[in-house]
Structure 1
Amino acid sequence: MKVLVLAAGYGTRLKEIAENTPKPLLPVGDRPLINHILERIKGLPDLNEVLVVTNNKFTEDFQKWAQETDIGCPITVVNDGTNSPEERLGSIGDIQFSIDDKQIRDDLLVIGGDNLFDYNLDEYIIFARQHENAVVIGLYDIGDLEEAKLYGVVGLNDAGKVVSFQEKPQEPKSTLISMCFYYLPRNSLSLVSQYLKESGKSDKAGDYINWLHKKSEVYGFRFTGTWYDIGSVEAYQKAQETF
């Protein structure tokens, strides 16, 4: 299994603090944000490589960081070749770029580089592997309908299968939201390129999940614990207080 950390953003919503530092390398407590992610994936069964996809602007920063970081398996920095927000490939575009560039043929766990959380991922991986060929997404009950409007809202059946998906709905059906956690078994990787060809949309991962759950089985795993989506200065400041 490989882990792919999405880190190709330009920090436009955090410009005052992240203009010259990629968001995953911002300090949270005594270490960069991305190191908190690595602490949670270190030691996962069958993990053989961590890939970090970034852009041309921040590649050197991540390469320097990777040289100084040891988690017991190789860390590979992938440069998607973009130089500005206008050129960015989007989250799904970066997943496909990484699959092609590194010829990935393994199961792939995709994690957004702006996720900050305090729970282990072992149970998530066990759940995903019990569902063999299905994509398994990470879910979180955000507990507030107003906040849920900012995310993809997910409906599950009793077996945990995704039966509905609303991307940033005006009237959310629940507070159960999709996080940027996607377990993609190796035989599902070709669906990423199929989606890009059919939709022409590469930016929003939620659009991909909405398309995917109508094409094949997608399951959701509920995380509990503390989670922050570091998408604003306010969220970053709250995370600093907690971590």
Structure 2
Amino acid sequence: MDVIVLVGGKGTRLSSIVNNLPKPLAPIGNRPFFDLVLHRLRSAFGQHLHLILATGHLHEHFEQYANANQPLANISLSREREPLGTGGAIRNAMQLSTQKHVLVLNGDCYFDIDYCAFTQQVTNKGAISLAAAYVPDISRFGALTIDPDSGLITEFLEKGKQGAGYINAGVYLINKAEFLASTATTPFSFEQYLSEFAASKSLYSQCYRAEFIDIGTPEDYQKAQLMLKHLI
């Protein structure tokens, strides 16, 4: 399985705590956070995993990480030499994929799901499908409105609303050919692309009540130290 992981962001909100490492390599206990993500992927796909790291900021750290972990996984590096946006970074990384469908993840999130089962469940659902995580507070993330019968996303809600609900967990299965045909080489936001896609086409979601955390803020990074310590 070809898996693109977005790891090229600058992580400005976390810079007060971790300013010399890319956010996905920030330590959880004595291990890089990304070790936990890699473990989930290896558990799902085993020797069939082809990991494509979509790098940018502090690219050299991922070169070192890839070299150190090649015995565990087949790792390729896609480098963003100028800002491409999340959509452009995915498009750029897809040049290293040889498969019809590509799994795409955000590198700063841990989601305790079976990624292999997810890909099998959504492969025939459309050009793009996403995994939705149930969280007790949607205010930092925004939320999804999902049709309970079809599983189709009908609306992306803005951040700030209170309460529990399903959010976009940053996990997507994408039909590579359809994505490349529908996007341009100019920089663009994948999140904006998704919103427009959902408004005009069928965007399917697979919903999960599983452990999820995004380490993008100092508060959630500290929370991850406790939430994930059993995995270290």
TM-score (norm 1): 0.82
Letter in 2 for 1:51: I
Q: Structure 1 pair 47/213, CA: closer, same or farther in 2 (3 Å)?
A: farther
Structure 1 unaligned segments of length 5 or more: list them.
Answer: 83-87
Query: 5 Å matches for 1:134-145?
Result: 134-144=127-137
Structure 2 CA distance for aligned equivalents of residues 235 and 38 of structure 1: 20
> Aligned in 2, Cα 1:155/1:3: closer, same or farther, shift over 3 Å?
same
- Identify which of 143, 150, 153 aligns with 1:162: 153
Map 1:64-213; keep pairs closer than 5 Å.
64-70=64-70, 72-82=72-82, 88-100=83-95, 102=96, 105-131=99-125, 133-144=126-137, 148-157=138-147, 158-168=149-159, 170-171=160-161, 175-190=165-180, 193=183, 202-203=188-189, 205-213=190-198
The answer to whether the 8 A contact 2:24-2:107 is kept is yes
Change (3 A) 1:187 1:44: farther
> Post-superposition, which runs of at least 4 consecutive aligned residues in structure 1 deviate over 3 A?
43-48, 70-73, 103-106, 170-174
Q: Is the 8 A contact 1:152 1:206 kept in 2?
A: no
- Native 8 Å contact 2:128 2:174 kept in 1: yes
Counterpart AA for 2:92? F
Please report how far the alpha carbon of residue 189 of structure 1 lies from its aligned counterpart in structure 2 after TM superposition.
2.0
Partner of residue 41, structure 1: 41
Does structure 2 retain, via aligned residues, the 8 Å contact 1:161–1:219? yes
Name the CA distance, whole Å, in 2 between partners of 1:69 and 1:165: 37
Task: Report the CA distance shift for 1:193/1:105 in structure 2 as closer, same or farther (over 3 A).
Answer: farther
Mark the CA change 1:37 to 1:103 in structure 2 (over 3 Å): closer, same or farther.
closer
Q: Distance in 2 between matches of 1:41 and 1:50?
A: 9
CA distance in 2, matches of 1:178, 1:226: 14
Checking the alignment, whether the CA contact within 8 Å between 1:135 and 1:188 is kept in structure 2 is: no
Match of 1:241 among 223, 226, 231: 226
- After TM superposition, give the deviation of residue 91 of structure 1 in Å: 1.1
User: Match for 1:176: what amino acid?
Assistant: Y
Query: What is the Cα-based RMSD across aligned positions, in Å?
Result: 2.5
Deviates more, 1:114-123 or 1:212-221: 114-123
1:100-156 CA deviation, whole Å, 9 max, x = no partner? 4x365531111001002333323312211242x331111112223xxx233242122
Task: Sort the Cα spacing of 1:191 and 1:142 in 2 relative to 1 into closer, same or farther, 3 A.
Answer: farther
Q: How far 1:229 sits from its partner (Å)?
A: 0.9
